[in-house]
Amino acid sequence: MLIKLIYKEILHRKLNFVLALLAVTIAVAFFVSFFTANDASKKETIRLTRDMGFNLRIIPGETDMNKFWTEGYSDLTMPEDYINRFWEFKDYSFAHLTATLHKKIIWNNKEVVLTGIAPEIEPSEKKKTAMIFSIEPGTVYVGYELAKDMQIRQEDSIKIFNRYFKVNKTLSETGSIDDIRIYGALSEFQDLIGFKGKINEIMALNCLCVSPDENDPLEILREQLDQVLPEAKVIMNTTIANARERQRHMIEEYFAVITIFVIIVIVIWIGVLTMINVRERQKEIGILRAIGHSGVRIFALFIWKALMIGLLGAIIGYATGTILALKFGTGIFKITADSLKPIYSLLIWSIIAAPVFSAFAAFLPTLSAIMKDPAITLRKE
């Protein structure tokens, strides 16, 4: 009888029902679309900030930093196999570890930087897309300024210290020292400049997710490096690292503010609608009391209705939110569009949370109606 009463009342007061359903649907759709897109947004942010380049440089511990900054690299070297130490430690915050060897040389009467790069290693065994191009033996990548100045084109053959290399690619302009760099395979460049088995830098990306305002990530990274590689030290490009973290925090804080706003608006919305519904039904409540229905039963009538609205709103809201996220997300997150997929666990969460939320919003108006003396509405005097 209770369900039938609710059902018939809904049909009788369709507008009230539709508006309440709309409120829950909007709230659920907002959260579902946000969380569905959030996954892609996180990946997109990671990709975009990652594309800003490595932000960690692990260099020999004895490096003179004055020379380092004036030269652009350490004049000291360390054994290449130092990088393998990271395999033995899993609990650290360095990712995309790449062994490199940099050396300034005069080439064709020009000062250039040779940079040998080894393939990235990922001891954490997490599947990650490579940060930097992988270089085939016998090939090189030539920086923008150098290529322009010396009219070097892709597929050209260039000679460095009596050895010929094929130009795999000429790079686009970066506005940094990279524009006068020649990248080659680490082992070949080690041979070329007589530093066999040596490197002078391990480039890496910080994957420590702490706010730059809360903790000093560099301190944590240095502690970790002391355990893995005490012979080396780490420096961090804080501009890139902070940009990464600030971007992440900004999105989280923005969402938190919007969430509070949406919740308050929706609770008021449902609460007002319930209040209107309760006022319209004062006489009905009075007569139900008069013919022997308890306050608890009448309370249940309103709360069950709110729960039904919540349940229906959860399902419609989930579908709407997912469709919106999939439709518009692909336009927003161009790089990681493929990772936009329906999150089915959100449906379960919506089904649990939306009815509770809806019942919560309806609770006070219903309680006030039940507490009100029904005789007052039935007295016509």
Partner 1 sequence: MIHLDKVSKIFGSPPKQVEALKNIDLHVNKSEFIIIRGPSGSGKTTLLLSIGGMLQPSSGVVNVENEDIYLLNEFERTKFRASNIGFVFQMFYLIPYLNVLENIMLAAGLGSNGARQRKATELAAQLGISDRILHKPSELSAGERQRVALARALIHQPKIILADEPTGNLDPDNSREVIRILKEYHQTGGTVIFVTHGKDADQFADRIFYLSKGEIVQ
In our burial notation (b when 16+ CB lie closer than 10 A, e otherwise), range 151-179 reads ebeeeeebebeeeebebbebbeeeeeebb
Q: Which of residues 239-278 bind partner 1 (CB under 8 A)?
A: none
Nearer to partner 1, 259 or 377 (CB): 377
Number of residues engaging partner 1 in binding (CB under 8 A): 29
Nearer to partner 1, 7 or 261 (CB): 7
* Candidate segments 11-19, 47-55, 116-124, 303-311, binder of partner 1 by CB under 8 A: 11-19
* Candidate segments 5-13, 118-126, 211-219, 247-255, binder of partner 1 by CB under 8 A: 5-13
Nearer to partner 1, 9 or 75 (CB): 9
Largest CA distance in the chain: 112
Q: Which of residues 275-334 bind partner 1 (CB under 8 A)?
A: 283-284, 286-297
Nearer to partner 1, 264 or 290 (CB): 290
* Candidate segments 7-15, 22-30, 74-82, 229-237, binder of partner 1 by CB under 8 A: 7-15
Nearer to partner 1, 204 or 306 (CB): 306
Query: Judged by CB under 8 A, does residue 111 bind partner 1?
Result: no
- Residue count (the chain): 381
Q: Which of residues 13-32 bind partner 1 (CB under 8 A)?
A: 13
Interface residue with partner 1 among 60, 123, 184, 374 (CB under 8 A) is: 374
Cβ neighbours around 304 below 10 Å, total: 17
Among residues 9, 31, 36, which one has the least CA distance to residue 266? 31
Among residues 233, 296, 234, 320, which one has the least CA distance to residue 24? 320
Nearer to partner 1, 1 or 106 (CB): 1
Query: Judged by CB under 8 A, does residue 3 bind partner 1?
Result: no
Half-sphere exposure of 286 (CA within 13 A, CB side): 14
Return the SS3 of 1.
coil
In our burial notation (b when 16+ CB lie closer than 10 A, e otherwise), range 331-349 reads eebeebeeebebbeebbeb
Nearer to partner 1, 45 or 377 (CB): 377
Query: In sequence order, what are the residues at sequence separation of 6 or more whose Cβ sits closer than 8 angstroms to the Cβ of residue 274?
Result: 20, 302, 306, 361, 362, 365, 366
Q: What's the min distance (Å) between Cβ of 380 and partner 1?
A: 6
Among residues 171, 116, 113, 106, which one has the least CA distance to residue 145? 171
Q: What's the min distance (Å) between Cβ of 361 and partner 1?
A: 23
How far is the C-alpha of 284 from the C-alpha of 192, rounded, in Å?
93
